[in-house]
Chain A
Amino acid sequence: MSDDRAALSGLQQFGLVLLRTLVGWHFLYEGYFKLVLPAWTRGGALLPAWTSAGYLRAASGPFAPLFHRLAASSWLPVVDHVVAVALVLVGLSLVLGLFTQTGCAAALALLALFYLSAIPTHGLHEPGNEGAYLIVNKNLVEAAAVLVVLAFRTGRIAGLDRLRRGPARAPRVEEAA
């Protein structure tokens, strides 16, 4: 173990890797679920094919015109597939700690798109959401979590990146703060 890594306590390292794994699982399952559709629940209900059309049509904020055009375009099936595959790849990256920095950057890009397409400015409870949000919603919180994971290069604390590049030169706690 290098001197640099010794700057992070075991609990801190565990917490960072846990954070990365949980965020990764969230991305991975969201992507997997979209790819597996149309599908059936074990209880026998049919789950229709997933499409981002409704989400894109309802988009607001600075990219709204672009999203609206995409929703109405013939590119929609491609967009649907790209989003689902991107979610899976980002999820795998974060869960496995492989190409973690790239995975984090892609996760940030996706979350930024999701956030910017629907910035909660009204501060009211929305149907389908379990809470009321003003400016800060769970996409933004998850983006901040990914930023932390990115900053601490957690793939080299624990993950397949260690096999690629060896143990990390992780920043000291005070440097990262």
Chain B
Amino acid sequence: MNLTPEQETLGRRNFLKALAGTPALAALGAAAITRGPVKGGPVRVGWIGTGTQGRALMSRMDPAYADVLALCDINPTSLARGDEVLAKNGQHPARHYRDWKEMLAKEDLEAVVMAPPLWMHADLAVGCMEAGKHVLCEKMMAWDVPGCQRMLDAARRTGKVLEIGYQRNYNPVYQATYEGIIKAGVLGDVYHARLAWHRNGNWRRTGEPPSKDYDPSPWGYPDFEHLLNWRLYWRYSKGLLAELASHQVNITNWFFGSTPEAVQGYGGVFRFKDGREVQDHVYATFEYPQGRTAVFSAIESNAFDNYYEMFMGTKGTLILRAETDAMLFPEGDAAHATAVEVAARGTGPALDASESKPATQTSTGVGTTRAGGGETSERGLASRNEISGFCSAIRVGTPLKCGPERAIHSARACIVANEALGKNQRQAITA
């Protein structure tokens, strides 16, 4: 997807024009307030996992909505960095725990926000819900489909709020797009979506253990390197499909109003043969009902295309790039790029710490936000809204934007896609 600056400007203008008739969401808020307020302050929260993504979420949190009482992580360095984020966010210090069960037993918590390695999601989320806590769990939902199902069952059984952290659902750009473009039928009939997440860099992280004698083996990691780079090993991770594709498949499910029925794919460790297990190049084709197809690619050898979701309809093309930029091209108007922009481009928001960022960006970003959790990028706003939305779901029952019933579909699709890659054959995706 190579567009000239003129095409990008035109695309943005088209997008805004198409949205002009969308009713103001503020009107809905005004209608809701006429029923009177419900007493209650911020939700009392414990935070499990204060690694880069956990801290990125924390830095974007609005302290008015969530009061962080305790942090839990097996890495003391991460806990200390979590304190720094809280301080910069204008929050009081939180108590530290290494054992999440001890945290739940000792603290008067209502909810848990968790961003641990993927393989721990199901056990932790189910354990927290069974202990009576609401849970906001980072994506992907769980390491395997039975884990996802256990989380869904626990949410239903306990009646607790379970939200899965696909922040695009809370991003004003995506919400406006859904209301003003997708539902309004501006694109016509959409048969094809292109999902790309291209980076040029090694996914492997480097870092020092918290102490020379630090031993993470009691928690299932043979050494510190496996803890630090859990995303590179199958025991803990589901690779690029879980960390990147699941975001985009989740959005495609939303926009298509359906879930994929089959997937085929190809990939492997082609560039970084450094002992990692998960692929560094992944290509997958998701088959949706009614002849719709979404093609996903994640490569770790070229970042020119950045990351985006592109929906190609009979009447127009929609491009959502890097979670901040929306462009619309009516079919036959200026749809064809004839020039290639090769100048260095900004590849995403300045503040970012998750696996979703381009690998060429090395800044951790955490701690650079304003006091009070303020951040102006759409991506930052999306995470902020996500946590606030989770808290309001707890307090006044506002609908979840990505509860377990919805999140399980993108998780299942990406888990099966990994199986398809492994077997190098088309796999059906069945509930």
Q: Which residues of A line the B interface, CB within 8 A?
A: 33, 36-49
Contact = CB atoms under 8 A, between A and B. Distances in A.
A80 to B, nearest CB: 15
Contacts of B391: 46
B40 interface: yes
A31 to B, nearest CB: 14
A170 B35 CA distance: 38
A48 B64 contact: yes
A43 B31 CA distance: 8
B386 to A, nearest CB: 12
A44 B393 contact: yes
Contacts of B388: 44, 46
Contact of A44 (B31, B36, B64, B392): B392
A49 B64 CA distance: 10
Contact of A42 (B38, B39, B41, B393): B38
Contacts of B32: 41-44
A47 to B, nearest CB: 6
Contacts, number: 60
A43 B398 contact: yes
Instruction: Give the 9 A-B residue pairs with the shortest CB-CB distance, closest first.
Output: A44-B392, A43-B32, A39-B37, A44-B398, A42-B32, A38-B41, A43-B29, A40-B395, A41-B33
A42 B396 contact: yes
Contacts of A38: 39-42
Nearest to B391: A46
Nearest to A44: B392
Nearest to B26: A43
A42 B35 contact: yes
Q: Secondary structure at chain A's binding surface: helix, strand, loop or mixed?
A: loop
A41 B389 contact: no
A36 B40 CA distance: 8
- Classify chain B: how many residues form its interface, as a range: 20 to 34
Nearest to B393: A44
A47 B33 CA distance: 11
A43 B28 contact: yes
Contacts of B65: 46
A39 to B, nearest CB: 4
Contacts of A33: 37
A37 B391 CA distance: 16
Interface in B356-375: none
B37 A43 contact: no
Given A38-B42, A44-B393, 8 more contacts: A36-B37, A38-B40, A39-B39, A40-B37, A41-B33, A43-B31, A44-B395, A44-B396
Nearest to B36: A42
Contact of A39 (B29, B38, B389): B38
B64 A41 contact: no
30 contacts: A36-B39, A38-B41, A39-B38, A39-B39, A39-B40, A40-B37, A40-B38, A40-B40, A41-B32, A41-B33, A41-B396, A42-B32, A42-B33, A42-B35, A42-B38, A43-B33, A43-B392, A43-B396, A43-B398, A44-B32, A44-B388, A44-B389, A44-B396, A44-B398, A45-B33, A45-B392, A46-B42, A46-B64, A46-B392, A47-B37
A171 B38 CA distance: 44
Contacts of B64: 46, 48
